[in-house]
Amino acid sequence: MRLMRVGAPGAEVPVAHIADGTHLDLRPVTADIDAAFLAADGMARARAAIAEGSLPTIDIAGLRVGAPIARPGVVLCIGMNYAAHAAEGGSLPPEHPVMFYKAPNTVVGPYDDVRIPRGATKTDWEVELAAVIGTTARYLSSPGEALEHVAGYTISNDVSERALQLEISGGQWSKGKSCETFNPLGPWLVTPDEIAGPQTLGLRSWVNGDARQNSNTKDMIFDVATLIYELSQVTVLEPGDVINTGTPEGVALSGRFPYLAAGDEITLEIDGLGHQRQRLVSA
């Protein structure tokens, strides 16, 4: 099942994307795809309504595509979760997951503009697999039960301003991660049964059509199940929370590519999860 939200910011409509290219209006089931929907067994209710054939079709042509989950309670991010990416930033692979927070209001649609902060010169791209939590997870007993708490997966661009993140951060990465529009998400929230597994997905990015990142989630240092298990030991994961699981090598921080500038275009894709495209504009 692939769910999405379309319409103007703050007025998005919940929609199911069907394999034949049609779209079904989910408003008979829910007003939005949000924490309350997930907590009330909304995914099962949506699946049942689709199977019954009771939902009307909806024409989304020309409509903006929003993030597939309404503003999350928290965006939890994992740093340096691919060894090659850690190395290109001058770090050794971590012994434990590196966790930091992004402001939830950074989440925008997959095709929305990304705004370069005032005075910024080191804005960077990061294609990531995002896991959206469907049921509360706290003090899980093992990674083996972690994926039961995932509602679905989507594409995340963990946009970063490296000077704010690393040079004048004060020791915390969140300053360089929480600028407005710094987390394009979507286009779809894809249920786990629609993909072979979270550790078998190719992920890629381009800037102005030139290849940047090309890797696979099998190369994660800590797999998605381990991340959810580890996070549940230090915080309560709630329905609608978004976990950005880390980015592979190929970012501007490596020194191999220029940082982003106004007018640049980023394209990102992950197997089975669709693609994103953003234009860079000045704030």
Q: What is the pLDDT of residues 36-94, one digit of tens each?
A: 999 999 999 999 999 999 999 999 999 999 999 999 999 999 999 998 887 777 778 89
Q: How many helices (H) and strands (E) does the chain have?
A: 5, 19
Q: In the prediction, which pLDDT does 108 show?
A: 98
Residue with token string 């240092």: 221
Q: In the prediction, which pLDDT does 215 show?
A: 97
Regions of the chain short of the pLDDT cut 70: none
Q: Output DSSP code: residue 70.
A: S
Q: In the prediction, which pLDDT does 193 show?
A: 96
Q: In the prediction, which pLDDT does 203 show?
A: 98
Rounded to two decimals, the pTM is: 0.97
Neighbours of 1 (CB within 10 A): 18
H-type helices in 169-214, by residue range?
Answer: none
Tokens of 242: 């978004």
